[in-house]
Amino acid sequence: MQSLRPVRRVAELGSLAVTGSVAAIFAFKCGKCSKIHEGSPSFGYDAPWHYSGLSVEERAYSELKSDTCVIRHDEGVDRFIRVVLEVPIHGVDKPFMWGVWVSLSEKSFTRYLETWDEPDESDSYFGWLCNRLPYYEDTINLKVQVRPRRGGLRPYLELERNGHLLAEHLCEGISIQQAQEIAERMLHDG
Ligand SMILES: [Zn+2]
């Protein structure tokens, strides 16, 4: 089973005031546990889906760190990095965030590591999404572009707009109601 956990809590509690026309802090009364969940939802995966299926022996030949993962197997080497999917929530300032893994070519992976201290924001790496996000149709191997950014932030993702709901959500954003549905499912069903 994939390990799922909230990775970030937004600290601003109790502030639901809308400033001008923009953006309140996301908060909702949960339909599953009846508590108020506050802060834009944020969920992360500790590893690419591919890693969670490895045996103990196979893991010994692989390497999982907080931001990179290398899996060595008979057919070759797979390289993954951790990135962020930011889905805008309409009317809320902070997006719905998914910490996910993407597989990159050896060339892109090497470039990513080489520019680790000073990311070049004009870089864009092609990759494949490597986690299964609940709520959506299978998200494994969706085509993505990885966009590095400065300031110690993990790269963000752009998805090819191919009709997949996740790509639509990334481009168009989601309603507060949809954000609540996804968050309830992640918080209580996994
Ligand atoms: Zn709840």
- At residue 123, the pLDDT reads 97
pLDDT (tens digit per residue) in 18-57? 344 445 688 888 999 999 998 999 999 999 999 998 999 8
Burial of 95 (0-12, 13-18, 19+ CB in 10 A): buried
Distance 51 CA to ligand 1 centre (A): 29
Distance 29 CA to ligand 1 centre (A): 8
Confidence of residue 74 (pLDDT cuts 50, 70, 90): confident
Distance 38 CA to ligand 1 centre (A): 10
- At residue 68, the pLDDT reads 97
Span 121-133, mean pLDDT?
97
Which residues sit with Cβ closer than 5 angstroms to ligand 1, an ion? 30, 32-33
- At residue 1, the pLDDT reads 39
Distance 26 CA to ligand 1 centre (A): 14
Confidence of residue 101 (pLDDT cuts 50, 70, 90): very high
Query: Would the pLDDT of 100 be above 70?
Result: yes
- At residue 161, the pLDDT reads 86
Confidence of residue 5 (pLDDT cuts 50, 70, 90): very low
Task: List beta partners, residue 86.
Answer: 97
Distance 32 CA to ligand 1 centre (A): 5
What average pLDDT is seen over the chain? Answer: 87
Distance 12 CA to ligand 1 centre (A): 18
Distance 137 CA to ligand 1 centre (A): 23
Distance 57 CA to ligand 1 centre (A): 38
Q: Tell me, letter by letter, the H, E, C secondary structure of the chain.
A: CCCEEECCCCCCCCCCCCECCECECCEEECCCCCCEEECCCEEEECCCHHHHCCCHHHHHCCEECCCEEEEEECCEEEEEEEEEEEECECCECCCEEEEEEEEECHHHHHHHHHCCCCCCCCCCEEEEECCCCCCCCCCCCCEEEEECCCCCCCCEEEECCCCCHHHHHHHHCECHHHHHHHHHHHHHCC
Span 45-72, mean pLDDT?
94
Distance 90 CA to ligand 1 centre (A): 21
Q: Where are the chain's structural domains?
A: 4-188
Query: Would the pLDDT of 8 be above 60?
Result: no
Q: Provide the percentage of residues in the chain whose pLDDT is more than 90.
A: 73
Distance 180 CA to ligand 1 centre (A): 10
